[in-house]
């Protein structure tokens, strides 16, 4: 064996091992046609079809009613109240939307339901109330918010999904939540939310932001779709998509994302209901 080969072969072996390990870490779960069908080629109203001027607040029953009336799917966020009710609300804190100090998880449902959204007469809904409004007519993407009672939130959300007759999928920034649904509800389409490392580093440690931003935690939950923030995508994300993950874009303010994605989460404009 030549001297050059003695140098090149170990390097090639190392490179192959790195590529193989990366592929294992980021490989998605593969959804079947039945799981994909309600979501493929659809536009989803971000936190319902709310308005920029807040006259229809985000994650409110009128926002979800407007989405249904206009034939859109919708995305929403769930977390637990202090008395274990599955409420629909995005932020941990009540301050931005309700003008109150404190966190959602520290208030009972009775206390939360007395608060107003964005200065309107609307209040925070329960997930069951949203299901009643939608009535199975349009698909729903449920984001489960990370917290101190993740397993309880997962189980309670699953119980409500099981009792509901309509198309629903789940997603989370927390790969352990994605994993919970992989193990306990494999028939429900599941997705990993993510964004570039610099975006993720605003809400988590630099180390976690690197792992999540590059989908190196996919081996935990084997997400069947990747909901990635619109913009540049790292090579690992594009490779995961090439391996079969559905592509969902968030949050769109124009029509451009329809060209390169399987579904789009939008706000503040009126796209087509379907684009594929």
> CATH number, domain at 112?
3.20.20.190
In the prediction, which pLDDT does 17 show?
A: 58
Q: Which two tokens stand for residue 203?
A: 């809400």
In the prediction, which pLDDT does 1 show?
A: 56
Dist. CA 235–CA 66, nearest whole Å: 38
Residue 25 falls within a domain, yes or no? yes
Residue 276 falls within a domain, yes or no? no
Residue count (the chain) = 276
Residue 99 falls within a domain, yes or no? yes
Residue 275 falls within a domain, yes or no? no
Percentages helix, strand, coil for the chain (3-state, rounded to 5) are: 40, 20, 40
The upper half-sphere exposure of residue 210, i.e. CA atoms within 13 Å in the direction of its Cβ, equals 2
Residue 54 falls within a domain, yes or no? yes
Residue 272 falls within a domain, yes or no? no
Residue 273 falls within a domain, yes or no? no
In the prediction, which pLDDT does 28 show?
A: 98
Residue 274 falls within a domain, yes or no? no
- Residues with a catalytic annotation lie at 46, 90
Please state the domain count of the chain.
1
Dist. CA 133–CA 121, nearest whole Å: 18
* Per-residue pLDDT of the chain in tens (276 residues, 90 and over written 9): 566 555 554 555 555 556 778 899 999 999 999 999 999 999 999 999 999 999 999 999 999 999 999 999 999 999 999 999 999 999 999 999 999 999 999 999 999 999 999 999 999 999 999 999 999 999 999 999 999 999 999 999 999 999 999 999 999 999 999 999 999 999 999 999 999 999 999 999 999 999 999 999 999 999 999 999 999 999 999 999 999 999 999 999 999 999 999 999 999 999 999 998
Planar angle of CA 78, 114, 131, nearest 5 degrees: 35
- The residue among 74, 50, 45, 76 whose CA lies nearest residue 62 is 50
Dist. CA 238–CA 143, nearest whole Å: 22
> 109-143: buried (b, 16+ CB within 10 Å) or exposed (e) per residue?
bebbeebebbeeebbbbbbeebbebbeeebbbbbb
In the prediction, which pLDDT does 9 show?
A: 47
Give the structural domain span for 235.
Answer: 3-266
- The residue among 222, 219, 199, 221 whose CA lies nearest residue 209 is 199
């Amino acid at each position: 064996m030549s001297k050059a080969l003695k140098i090149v072969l170990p390097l090639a072996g190392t490179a192959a091992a790195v590529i193989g390990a990366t592929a294992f870490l980021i490989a998605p779960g593969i959804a079947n046609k039945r799981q994909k069908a309600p979501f493929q080629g659809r536009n989803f109203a971000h936190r319902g079809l709310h308005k920029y001027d807040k006259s229809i607040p985000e994650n409110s029953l009128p926002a979800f009613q407007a989405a249904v009336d206009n034939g859109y799917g919708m995305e929403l966020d769930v977390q637990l109240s202090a008395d274990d009710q599955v409420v629909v609300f995005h932020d941990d804190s009540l301050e931005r939307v309700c003008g109150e100090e404190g966190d959602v998880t520290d208030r009972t449902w009775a206390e939360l339901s007395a608060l107003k959204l964005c200065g309107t007469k609307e209040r925070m809904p329960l997930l069951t109330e949203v299901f009643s409004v939608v009535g199975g007519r349009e698909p729903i993407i449920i984001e489960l918010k990370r917290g101190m009672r993740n397993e309880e939130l997962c189980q309670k959300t699953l119980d409500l999904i099981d009792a509901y007759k309509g198309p629903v999928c789940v997603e989370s920034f927390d790969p352990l939540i994605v994993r919970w649904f992989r193990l306990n509800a494999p028939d429900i389409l599941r997705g990993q939310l993510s964004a570039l490392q610099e975006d993720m580093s605003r809400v988590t440690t630099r180390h976690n932001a690197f792992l999540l931003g590059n989908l190196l935690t996919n081996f935990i939950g084997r997400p069947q779709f990747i909901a990635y923030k619109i913009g540049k995508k790292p090579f690992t994300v594009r490779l995961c998509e090439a391996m079969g993950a559905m592509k969902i874009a968030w949050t769109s303010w124009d029509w451009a994302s329809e060209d390169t994605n399987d579904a789009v989460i939008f706000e503040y404009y009126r796209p087509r209901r379907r684009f594929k």
